[in-house]
Amino acid sequence: MVNAEPMWATRLFEWYCGPRDGEFCEYIGRTEDLIPNLIEVLGKLGYDVAGKHQVLEELGLINVGNVERPTVTDRSKDKILKSEALLIDRFYGQQTRHIYWY
C-alpha cells in the first residue's frame, strides 16, 4: 500500500478536514481520548460538564469489539511512518518530535 499510494492516510484526512491551516472542521478529536474530547466539545457548546467525566468513564466502552493489532514488520512500519510523517506531525505535533524522522 505504501509503495502504491504513498501518503494515503495524509490525503484521506485532508479530504475530511481540509488542508493544514485551512481546515473546515472546528474541532478534531482523537479516538484515543473520546471522553475528554466529548467533555471539551460539550463545554465549548455551553453545556455544564463540571464533574461529568467520571459519569462517562463509568459507562465503559460501548460497541467495541476485541480487535487484534495487526502484525507489522519493522521495515513496513518505518515505511509507513516516513510516508505519513506530515499527518502524524499535524495531529500529534509535539508528542512525536522525538521520533527519528525529524
Are 39 and 49 spatial neighbours (Cβ–Cβ below 8 Å)? yes
- What pLDDT is stored for residue 46 in this prediction? 92
pLDDT at 98 over 80: no
Arithmetic mean of pLDDT, 13-19 = 87
The CA distance from 42 to 46, in Å, is: 6
Does this model's pTM top 0.75? My answer is no
Are 94 and 87 spatial neighbours (Cβ–Cβ below 8 Å)? no
- What pLDDT is stored for residue 102 in this prediction? 39
Q: How far apart are the first and last CA of the chain?
A: 23
| Domain definitions of the chain by residue range | 8-95
